[in-house]
Amino acid sequence: MKADTFARLAALETLIDAEVGYWLEYHPASMDRYRETFVSRVSDVVDEIDALDAVAAARVYDAIVDFLAELPEDDEGVVEAALRFKRTVDRMTDRAMQPRDLEAPETWAVVLDELLATLLDEYRRAVLGPGEIEPRGWLRVRLLLARAREAAARLAPGARPDRRLELRDAMDRLAFAVTSRRVPAQALEPLVRAPRRIAERHRPSNLTRIGAFVVGQLLRPRGREKS
């Protein structure tokens, strides 16, 4: 599994966590309408996963269908259904990615970039105007911000000390703007762009992959040369 696929899975799982949180907090009157809105929000992300990895997309699609089919109308049942979905994604990731890739700062740079892009999209939907917030979208924004901060923390150890501080400052500014100031969407764009630029510096490039391959070949044990 490529880092881009893993990043979109992280975004998808965050959106689904927010949808579950919305159900638990507001208990929508119509389960059919809830499912309809749920599907409409996550379908684009599933399509993006499909463009990158058809096998992963098929498994995610099956997991979402199972989640919605098993979704009861009590809090404990909803939580259990969410946990089953999350464990399915965990198993997919564990089978498809090496532990070193899951720990690599380069992987988390891709995840951070994807979460921030999704955050900005959701913020535009959720913040309707001064003092006007759409509750379902606002829950997505809050969770995406929390996950983005986690991804930044996973990226930070691989950055130079000055860039580590730059990333922390950028994420703190973004957090204050979202949670405390609720700035207009156009004012949020440069605040999202700043940590995305930092993440971009750490994304794996084709040159990096080629270099890793060459180093690997050089380090392979060789047999004795014939005299």
Q: Kindly report, residue by residue over 112-122, the tens digit of the pLDDT.
A: 999 999 999 99
Listed ranges 40-44, 203-207, 211-215; the one with the highest mean pLDDT: 40-44
Closest Cα partner for 154 from 196, 106, 91? 106
Do 131 and 186 fall into the same domain? yes
Residue with tokens 């950055």: 159
Given a cut of 80, whether residue 1 has pLDDT beyond it is: yes
Do 33 and 86 fall into the same domain? yes
Question: Which CA distances in Å does 59 have to 16, 91, 183?
Answer: 15, 11, 38
CB 141 within 8 A of CB 105: no
Q: Of residues 209 and 127, which shows the higher confidence score? A: 127
The average pLDDT across 206-226 equals 44
- Residue 171 tokens read as 């994420």
- HSE at residue 130, side-chain half, CA atoms within 13 A, is 0
Q: What is the predicted pLDDT for the residue at 15?
A: 96
Do 109 and 77 fall into the same domain? no
Do 131 and 67 fall into the same domain? no
CB 79 within 8 A of CB 13: no
In 97-226, alpha helices (H)? 99-103, 105-126, 135-155, 161-176, 185-202, 206-219
Given a cut of 70, whether residue 32 has pLDDT beyond it is: yes
For 65, other C-beta atoms within 10 Å of its C-beta total: 11
Given a cut of 60, whether residue 208 has pLDDT beyond it is: no
Amino acid occupying residue 99: P
Do 147 and 59 fall into the same domain? no
Average predicted confidence (pLDDT) for the chain: 89
Do 51 and 118 fall into the same domain? no
The average pLDDT across 11-16 equals 96
Q: What pTM was computed for the model?
A: 0.86
Given a cut of 70, whether residue 217 has pLDDT beyond it is: no
Do 115 and 191 fall into the same domain? yes
The pLDDT > 70 percentage for the chain reads 90
Given a cut of 70, whether residue 211 has pLDDT beyond it is: no
Residue range(s) defining the domain that contains residue 179: 104-205
Amino acid occupying residue 33: R
Closest Cα partner for 115 from 19, 202, 6? 6
Specify if 26 maps to a domain: yes
Report the domain count for the chain: 2
Structure confidence by residue, pLDDT tens digits, 67-114: 999 888 899 999 999 999 999 999 999 999 999 999 999 999 999 999
Specify if 21 maps to a domain: yes
Specify if 123 maps to a domain: yes
Query: Domain boundary residue among 78, 97, 116?
Result: 97
Q: What is the predicted pLDDT for the residue at 205?
A: 64
The average pLDDT across 156-180 equals 93
Query: Domain boundary residue among 97, 127, 151?
Result: 97
Specify if 70 maps to a domain: yes
Specify if 220 maps to a domain: no
Do 36 and 53 fall into the same domain? yes
Do 110 and 188 fall into the same domain? yes
Do 150 and 189 fall into the same domain? yes
Specify if 39 maps to a domain: yes
Specify if 27 maps to a domain: yes
Do 196 and 108 fall into the same domain? yes
Q: What is the predicted pLDDT for the residue at 224?
A: 45
CB 35 within 8 A of CB 52: no
Do 93 and 175 fall into the same domain? no
Specify if 224 maps to a domain: no
Closest Cα partner for 53 from 13, 92, 102? 92
Query: Domain boundary residue among 97, 123, 151?
Result: 97
